[in-house]
Amino acid sequence: MGMNLDWHGALAALDWQVDLGATEAIADAPVDRFAESEALAARAAAPAAPVTPPVSAPPLVPLADADPVAEAQAAANAAGTLEELRDAMAAYEHCVLKGGARSLVFADGRPEARVMIVGEAPGRDEDLQGLPFVGKAGQLLDRMFAAIGLGRAEPDPGRALYITNVLPWRPPQNRDPTPQEIAMLRPFLERHIALADPAILVVMGNIPCDALLGRRGITRLRGTWTEVLGRPALPMFHPSFLLRQPAQKRHAWTDLLTLKDRLEA
Ligand code: URA
């Protein structure tokens, strides 16, 4: 069965592939695979060189001995400032997502803001720019919060936003994080919240609900105040979901008004 693809359909399909990271298969410089395979063949034909062990190999810690969660906890606890926390995350080597990402996406906005938003993970635009929520979902997020007078560049902490994500690195093809990845990144997120010390947390989408509330089901959780690390927290629909399901925006609006009321109380 054939599929008729018009110009708009083809462009949307291409956009979708770019969103999924298809462009990342293209390196900056061309690779001559013919020369590569000739070199391999030549190496295979050459007599084998004697294998000598490296003279001063560094002692290797067997991977099985390292506890990624305990190490993340220790590194996060040792950070006394947001800058130190960012450095500790940059130095953390147990998360495979780091290897596939261009940037460590730490935060944006004002750390002194009363409201801190926790999103899911950087996408393509965030990975390229090194800042959270700068793509289409981020633009919607900015419009949503501007509607109640809040923004990441507002100088007044009462109107400012501070924004981070559960994952500081973009997952390949924007896949969901594994439970192990969430567990090893949670100590950094918790320390991030403690250091920023917001009055209110907005828990944006299922992944942060999983990481901070220990359960998913945003359709049920949204709009009801709960507590995270001793702070009032409001789960809300993620703007990416709202871009796909615009009819749900009325719920997001209700939740924004709930947040506004709390800030003005
Ligand atoms: N979605 C998120 O959850 N976070 C971002 O930074 C971008 C998109």
Chain segment 168-182, per-residue pLDDT in tens: 999 999 899 999 999
- Residue 38's pLDDT band (cuts 50, 70, 90): confident
Per the DSSP assignment, residues forming a β-bridge with 204 are 236
Please give the average per-residue pLDDT across 210-234, as a whole number: 97
Given a cut of 60, is residue 2 above it in pLDDT? Answer: no
Would the CB of 142 count as within 6 Å of ligand 1?
A: no
Rounded to whole angstroms, the Cα distance separating 52 from 225 reads 63
State which ligand 1 atom lies nearest to the alpha carbon of 105: 6
Query: Best of 139, 145, 182, 238 to mutate for ligand 1, by most ligand atoms within 8 A of CB?
Result: 238
Expressed in angstroms and rounded, the spacing between residue 133 Cα and the centre of ligand 1 is 5
Expressed in angstroms and rounded, the spacing between residue 197 Cα and the centre of ligand 1 is 21
State which ligand 1 atom lies nearest to the alpha carbon of 137: 8
Q: What is the pLDDT of residues 87-102, one digit of tens each?
A: 999 999 999 999 999 9
- Residue 64's pLDDT band (cuts 50, 70, 90): low
pLDDT reported for residue 18: 55
pLDDT reported for residue 35: 72
pLDDT reported for residue 1: 43
All structural domains of the chain with their residue ranges = 68-264
- Residue 40's pLDDT band (cuts 50, 70, 90): low
State which ligand 1 atom lies nearest to the alpha carbon of 131: 6
Expressed in angstroms and rounded, the spacing between residue 263 Cα and the centre of ligand 1 is 24
Expressed in angstroms and rounded, the spacing between residue 109 Cα and the centre of ligand 1 is 14
Given a cut of 60, is residue 120 above it in pLDDT? Answer: yes
State which ligand 1 atom lies nearest to the alpha carbon of 163: 6
Q: What is the pLDDT of residues 225-253, one digit of tens each?
A: 999 999 999 999 999 999 999 999 999 99
pLDDT reported for residue 30: 59
- Write down the pTM of the prediction: 0.77
Would the CB of 68 count as within 6 Å of ligand 1?
A: no
Given a cut of 90, is residue 217 above it in pLDDT? Answer: yes
- Percentage of the chain beyond pLDDT 70 is 77
What's the number of CA atoms in the CB half-sphere (13 Å) around residue 126?
28
To the nearest whole number, what is the mean pLDDT of the chain?
A: 88
Q: Residue type for 107, please?
A: A
Burial group, residue 193, by CB count within 10 angstroms (0-12, 13-18, 19+): buried
Rounded to whole angstroms, the Cα distance separating 261 from 255 reads 10
- Contact present, 126 and 152 (Cβ < 8 Å): no
Fold (CATH) for 68-264: Uracil-DNA Glycosylase, subunit E (3.40.470)
State which ligand 1 atom lies nearest to the alpha carbon of 126: 6
Would the CB of 120 count as within 6 Å of ligand 1?
A: yes
- Contact present, 173 and 21 (Cβ < 8 Å): yes
Would the CB of 126 count as within 6 Å of ligand 1?
A: yes
Would the CB of 138 count as within 6 Å of ligand 1?
A: yes
State which ligand 1 atom lies nearest to the alpha carbon of 238: 3
Rg of the chain in Å (alpha carbons): 23
Q: What is the pLDDT of residues 20-33, one digit of tens each?
A: 555 555 555 556 66
Expressed in angstroms and rounded, the spacing between residue 138 Cα and the centre of ligand 1 is 7
Query: For every residue of the chain, which 3-state class applies, written as one string?
Result: CCCCCCHHHHHHHHHHHHHCCHHHHCCCCCCCHHHHHHHHHHHHHCCCCCCCCCCCCCCCCCHHHCCHHHHHHHHHHHCCCHHHHHHHHHCCCCCCHHHHCCCCCCCEECCCCCEEEEECCCCHHHHHHCCCCCCHHHHHHHHHHHCCCCECCCCCCCCEEEEEECCCCCCHHHCCCCHHHHHHHHHHHHHHHHHHCCCEEEEECHHHHHHHHCCCCHHHHCCCCEEECCEEEEEECCHHHHHHCHHHHHHHHHHHHHHHHHHHC
Would the CB of 169 count as within 6 Å of ligand 1?
A: no
Given a cut of 90, is residue 10 above it in pLDDT? Answer: no
pLDDT reported for residue 48: 57
C-alpha distances in Å from residue 144, one per residue of 21, 28, 60, 117, 207: 27, 37, 50, 13, 20
Which of 58-62, 103-107, 131-135, 206-210 is the least confident region?
Answer: 58-62
pLDDT reported for residue 79: 98
Task: Name which residue sits closest to atom 7 of ligand 1, judged by CA.
Answer: 133
